[in-house]
Amino acid sequence: MDNRRIGLFDSGLGGLTVMKELMRLLPSESIVYFGDTGRIPYGSKSVDTILKYTKSDIRFLQDFDLKMMVAACGTASSTALPLLKGQYDVPLLGVIEPAAKAAAGVTKNGCVGVIGTAGTIASGAYKRLLAGINPDIQTVDVACPLFVHLVENGFAEKNVAKEVAEEYLEPIKKAGADTLILGCTHYPLLRKVITEVLGDKVTLINPGVYVAEEIKARLTEADQLAEVPYDEQYSFYVSDDPAGFVRLGSVFLERPISGLAKQVDIEQFTE
């Protein structure tokens, strides 16, 4: 038994899709979430900047008594985490490997699409992992930078989202991929639009589902599952005005978070 918290961080709201799955699968766990809303997006930044931001996010979360940290951000997971491996006492997980393993296990025709931020796609992380799992898998990856802005601004189900999706997803469609990794944690909010464009025969891989399963497996094996949550089971911190985060975040999680989100000066934790 280990009642310490799990810490999650993301560039903004997207990591809430991971948190939602954790809350569903591990209802006794306490979670602290940090969304770097003042510096979003990460995906268009340089490797050095993504690394700097990721390190400051981790440094902030280290102020809490955590048993595990999760980079609930595709860009941070693919770009920064490989450079930070082994530097922290608390286990640090990303979203890339669980999603890649799931996609490799699901695809029937061996063609897997990957969509993500420019940073995630440029890293080649998914392509390398999929090739390592099965060299016969053909990977078609596409950067979709506007998707994050559409989600963060509440346009995930508007006509403009479908128009952008049709443009971005054309290479995936043309290649005949039967599986698509939603390689940014914002993208599950675009599931409806993506399915409309690609059709319901394409299996969409939501990293949050498989990250939550991985966390449960690790905590179970280490006998670290919580029995009793904190009085404030879920807490949220952001680096910009919490108002927008609270409004959209409540939709993402399907539960109110008003009054639970606090603003923090993340620059205090930045080298």
The C-alpha atoms of residue 256 and residue 230 are separated, in whole angstroms, by: 18
**Per-residue tokens: 1:** 């038994």
Which residues does the annotation mark as catalytic? 73, 184
Strands 179-182 and 138-143: unpaired
Give the DSSP letter string of 38-70: TS--STTS-HHHHHHHHHHHHHHHTTS-EEEEE
- Among candidates 102, 107, 104, 82, which has minimal Cα distance to 92? 82
- Among candidates 189, 46, 43, 179, which has minimal Cα distance to 114? 179
